[in-house]
């Protein structure tokens, strides 16, 4: 890796707790108390209550330097003392455990390059152990950044078999989450259930407009004045998973289909990278097919 | 009317020609020549060629002060000399003929007030002879601005009859085009064919996402991160007519359904007014269910 | 007032507490505890810590239905029990006390109409007892909405005297805050110190670009590709007070100065109204010449 | 170069003419006639008249396949027949002459990677013969894409000497234009006059706000709600050259200085690349310190 030019992540060892549970009085006080009493210094706290569904959401990050509870026991203590009491769904992360991300690509390179450039410049605290593709086209791009590239061509006959190999590779490389960087294949339910809410896709339209194939063609045909891109978690329902990030760009009647594709590329890569960054920073909680995004 | 604070329209008498036809060499030269040779001073010219469909589009505006051809004969001459030759669809307007606009409303006032405020402040060269509604709620708003308000409640039994009365009113008031300012009724084909590409609707979503009723509810349910509004011409196909203008606003998980509705109101009124302004200024050409919008 | 079409404000009686103080552990727990123990039902809570300046900010709103502490004593109790302890700057509001807003205008009506339309349609919980102007032009607009209009022409000779009359009027009408809706006069320090952080101005540029007079002329001259508007609190430093809200719109070389002014009008009124709404809803905390804006 | 994934440029050999001159009747007809009569097939035509300054601007592109005039003589003929007659400033380009672009960088890689990724994926018709830097930091990035990297450290003592070497390199590599991809040095007048309106800089603010050094610090300090980036031509006046492209992103009080820098990076690289693309496609005409940007 090159000398990191920037560092959004602090150099301190910290823990992050992401949680949601039915809203009740006292949760916030209890959780902050747990950390403060044990000499954790809270450096980030944000909470949100969905008053319609009555759900409490929270993200809290604290400095571990003087924290009393041994790191290996934090999960156990928190589970016993609070998670059971409040019926919490929670996720605990430590800042020195870099998430491991696999990238899936087909033939288009713009999202891949954007991800790799951020990776080598140290923008993100992440490891990228491998790139998987159904085409050989982007192997040279992977080589430029010294990332192993596995080409597993998929036909309708070998899909199950190839996906099994992919899962093996992901397992072997201890992959935590998957980024579909314009990977033009539908992901099977096996893969999705192996990585629930841990596969991020970029769809090249403003969902739910133009679901499915060739959204730019459809947008051009419909004569819209704005096009968009959507970063979302993959679920069994095509293009219908929880939306993480969206953005749009204005077009006019002068823009050809090719112009839409060209302007869309810039949207896609930025929207995908914003979604990936939120995931890496543990700032997303998904529930009811929606997302809570912490700042 | 109050003293106009601004005047986007020039004080000169001008003519505007909007046209499209199959693209062929020489059209632009011929049309500009027609005007220049007859001592019309061109003050606006924009043209666009759709190279996929091979269609030529043009908007040209010229000062009539020294124009040789008598105003009453311009149409005839242009038709005979050029429109037939090139197979043109064209529209001729004179700046001193203020278009007459009817507004249809139901119960929500935000779009109505935005239109009326622009009207009385002289932002637009338009007349508003009447407001039609299926509810009495906005009569006080109409009164504030001294516009006649006709309340024609619509039920499933009297729809045809009431629309016939509306058409009569529109005819009597010499209405040129209709603005549906959050009018919560589907327009019948009779009305649409009486005002082809002359009924402008505001749909409270980013079309084609969330067609039909309750788009904010649907957007909230889907968990989108951006909401939008669309100004379009009404055709027989619900929410599927040519799009004139769209805009969007960013939302977050913290926005309630009520927040979406509130943020959406501001979008709706601005997007509708932008669409209406383009129509009033004769800057829209619709074809193939799309629009060409001149600057 | 017309039948309110919408109601962003709840029908319940609530209290809102806005506060900031040096950050210390326990503040959040103490304040939420104060409310919960006394049977207040928290319906909104958001807090933010500025880790650079080490300041804690909070907005909390609770239902007063079962709240034990008599309304007239809430301020006293909170002050004694918590505000002193933590060195808090705080503001307490009750939802049934509608803030009273004065509008200052000169000759342009677009912002005024936008404010008044929201007012009469019940979008906002606010009273507008009077409009003050240095010109007679907008009296007809005020009359449409039945708001008293005071015309106090200002010259360089009578400025102090006229402002004294304005302050008297504001006092007599128990005005809580002032909105400068394109009021083309510099506000004197007397007026500012009578309404500290309670005068909202709309500046027709993307501050700090184009401070001072004629920003659209300056933007046109500079050849920018985007123009903006800024809603901010007025301080003694011209166009340099805390920014509440900004927005922008894209322009091109084809836009004339008049187009900039026309596009800018739509920006100005929406940005100003967003800023005013945040103020009315007690969602702004200003400090160090910046603002914290709660959702 | 990798297999080009996309091709915005047509495969045909075309010529592009960019021109401006005092507006007079007949220019458009004359120029289109020149091309049509000589069997050039016009595939793009856009014109614009600045009615304030009375200047006519035009971009025209035509297919050379059946064009009668030998390519080497087009310039001569056009100059003699039309440019002199109308007092035109004009630029003639041929699509098979790929412009040669030098990139100047300091230590930050995000803009560089964005440019290089577009280059190797074939998004642009451009050659990049060299990268010049005043620091060694980005040599590894250049190596990944096999572009020669020249490190010429600049101190206040050696500036003139090093710039002379740079000019020599640019000359030797037949460089047509220069892109300053976050190059943190002020360009001397010698360099600017060697490349007039052919040096593109990205400034990390919404100009003219926050001219000069550390604009994110200044924006953070001022408490703005939107930050921006500006791509512009470099002139002798620092950060005051003709603006090509600007864009903005919304921020909140929750964004730290580091967040501004991080969000700004994405803006900078996209805005710079859009500006560079417009330059490569010969779609910019600069005059009076402004730009006309063709679609």
HSE-up (13 A, CA, CB side) for residue A171: 8
Is pLDDT of D246 > 90?
A: yes
Q: CA triplet A178, A181, A182: central angle to 5 degrees?
A: 130
Contact D137 A3 (CB under 8 A): yes
Q: Which residue has the tokens 């959780």?
A: A31
Give the CA-trace dihedral at C276, C282, C287, C290, to 10 degrees: -40
Is pLDDT of A7 > 70?
A: no
Are B109 and C2 in contact, with CB atoms under 8 Å apart?
yes
B207 in reach of chain A (CB within 8 A)? yes
Q: How far apart are CA B47 and CA D141, in angstroms?
A: 45
> Which helix (H) or strand (E) segment is B164 a member of?
helix B159-172
Is the pLDDT higher at C33 or at C210? C210
Residues 6+ apart with CB under 8 A from D49: B45, D23, D55, D56, D57
pLDDT tens per residue across all 295 residues of chain B:
454 444 444 468 999 999 999 998 778 888 988 998 999 988 888 989 998 899 999 999 999 999 999 999 999 999 999 999 999 999 999 999 999 999 999 999 999 999 999 999 999 999 999 999 999 999 999 999 999 999 999 998 999 999 999 999 999 999 999 999 999 999 999 999 999 999 999 999 999 999 989 999 999 999 999 999 999 999 999 899 999 999 999 999 999 999 999 999 999 999 999 999 999 999 999 999 999 999 8
Q: What distance in Å separates residue C64's CA from the closest CA in chain B?
A: 22
10 Å CB burial of residue B80 (0-12, 13-18, 19+) is: exposed
DSSP secondary structure letter of residue A128: E
10 Å CB burial of residue A110 (0-12, 13-18, 19+) is: buried
Rounded to the nearest integer, the mean pLDDT of chain C is 94
Are C272 and C179 in contact, with CB atoms under 8 Å apart?
yes
- List the beta bridge partners of residue D57: D20, D48
> Which helix (H) or strand (E) segment is C59 a member of?
strand C55-63
Cα-based distances in Å from A205 to A248, B17, D251: 9, 36, 24
Please write down the long-range contacts of C163-168, taking CB distance under 8 Å and 24 or more positions apart: C163/C188, C163/C190, C163/C191, C166/C132, C166/C191, C167/C191, C167/C194
Q: How far apart are CA A45 and CA A281, in angstroms?
A: 14
pLDDT at B32: 87
Q: Identify the residue among D10, D12, D24, D25 best suited for mutation to test binding to B, counting B beta carbons within 10 A and taking the highest.
A: D25
Q: Of B58-62, D43-47, D143-147, D174-178, which range is least confident?
A: D43-47
pLDDT at A293: 98
Q: How far apart are CA A135 and CA A137, in angstroms?
A: 6
Mean pLDDT across the stretch A219-224?
97
Q: How far apart are CA B138 and CA B54, in angstroms?
A: 47
Q: How far apart are CA D42 and CA B54, in angstroms?
A: 12
Contact A246 B226 (CB under 8 A): yes
Nearest to D109 among A121, A261, A266 (CB): A121
pLDDT at A2: 54
pLDDT at D4: 47
Give the CA-trace dihedral at A11, A15, A21, A27, to 10 degrees: -100
Q: How far apart are CA B18 and CA B282, in angstroms?
A: 7
Whether the bond into B84 is cis, omega within 30 of 0: no
HSE-up (13 A, CA, CB side) for residue D194: 18
C295 in reach of chain D (CB within 8 A)? no
D97 in reach of chain A (CB within 8 A)? no
Enter the pTM of the model: 0.95
Specify the pairing of strand A149-151 against strand A127-133.
parallel
Task: Please name the residue ranges forming H helices in B81-158.
Answer: 84-86, 110-120, 139-144
Task: Write out the two tokens for C140.
Answer: 């007809």
Mean pLDDT across the stretch A214-232?
97
Cβ atoms within 10 Å of D51's Cβ, excluding its own: 11
pLDDT, tens only, A14-72: 999 999 999 987 788 889 889 989 999 888 889 899 988 999 999 999 999 999 999 99
10 Å CB burial of residue B76 (0-12, 13-18, 19+) is: exposed
pLDDT, tens only, C142-184: 999 999 999 999 998 999 999 999 999 999 999 999 999 999 9
D44 in reach of chain A (CB within 8 A)? no
Cβ atoms within 10 Å of A91's Cβ, excluding its own: 14
pLDDT at B78: 96
- List the beta bridge partners of residue D136: none
Given the residues D114, D176, D239, D255, select the one marked as catalytic.
D239
pLDDT, tens only, A256-286: 999 999 999 999 999 999 999 999 999 999 9
- List the beta bridge partners of residue B127: B100
Chains that touch D (3 or more CB pairs under 8 A): A, B, C
Q: How far apart are CA B36 and CA B196, in angstroms?
A: 32
- List the beta bridge partners of residue C81: none
Active-site residue list of A? 239
Whether the bond into B254 is cis, omega within 30 of 0: no
ipTM given for this complex: 0.93
> Which helix (H) or strand (E) segment is C278 a member of?
helix C257-280
Three-class DSSP category at A72: helix
Are A17 and A31 in contact, with CB atoms under 8 Å apart?
yes
């Amino acid at each position: 890796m090159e000398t990191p030019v920037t560092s959004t992540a602090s150099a301190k060892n910290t823990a992050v707790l992401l949680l949601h549970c039915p809203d009740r009085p006292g949760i916030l006080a209890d959780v902050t108390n747990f950390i403060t009493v044990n000499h954790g210094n809270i450096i980030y706290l944000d909470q949100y209550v969905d008053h319609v569904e009555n759900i409490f959401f929270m993200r809290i990050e604290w400095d571990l330097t003087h924290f009393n509870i041994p790191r290996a026991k934090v999960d156990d203590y928190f589970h016993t003392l609070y998670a059971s009491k409040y019926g919490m769904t929670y996720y605990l992360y430590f800042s020195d455990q870099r998430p491991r991300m696999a990238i899936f690509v087909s033939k288009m390179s713009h999202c891949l390059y954007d991800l790799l450039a951020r990776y080598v410049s140290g923008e993100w605290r992440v490891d990228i152990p491998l790139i998987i593709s159904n085409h050989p086209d982007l192997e040279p791009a992977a080589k430029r950044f010294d990332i192993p590239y596995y080409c597993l061509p998929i036909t309708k006959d070998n899909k199950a078999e190839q996906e099994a190999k992919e899962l093996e590779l992901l397992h072997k490389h201890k992959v935590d989450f998957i980024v579909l960087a314009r990977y033009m294949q539908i992901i099977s339910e096996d893969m999705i259930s192996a990585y629930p809410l841990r596969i991020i896709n970029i769809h090249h339209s403003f969902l739910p407009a133009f679901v499915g194939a060739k959204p730019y063609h459809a947008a051009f045909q419909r004569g819209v004045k704005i096009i968009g891109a959507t970063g979302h978690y993959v679920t069994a329902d095509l293009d219908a998973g929880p939306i993480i990030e969206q953005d749009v760009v204005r077009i006019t009647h002068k823009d050809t289909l090719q112009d839409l594709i060209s302007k869309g590329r810039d949207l896609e890569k930025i929207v995908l990278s914003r979604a990936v960054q939120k995931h890496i920073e543990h700032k997303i909680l998904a529930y009811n097919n929606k997302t809570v995004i912490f700042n």
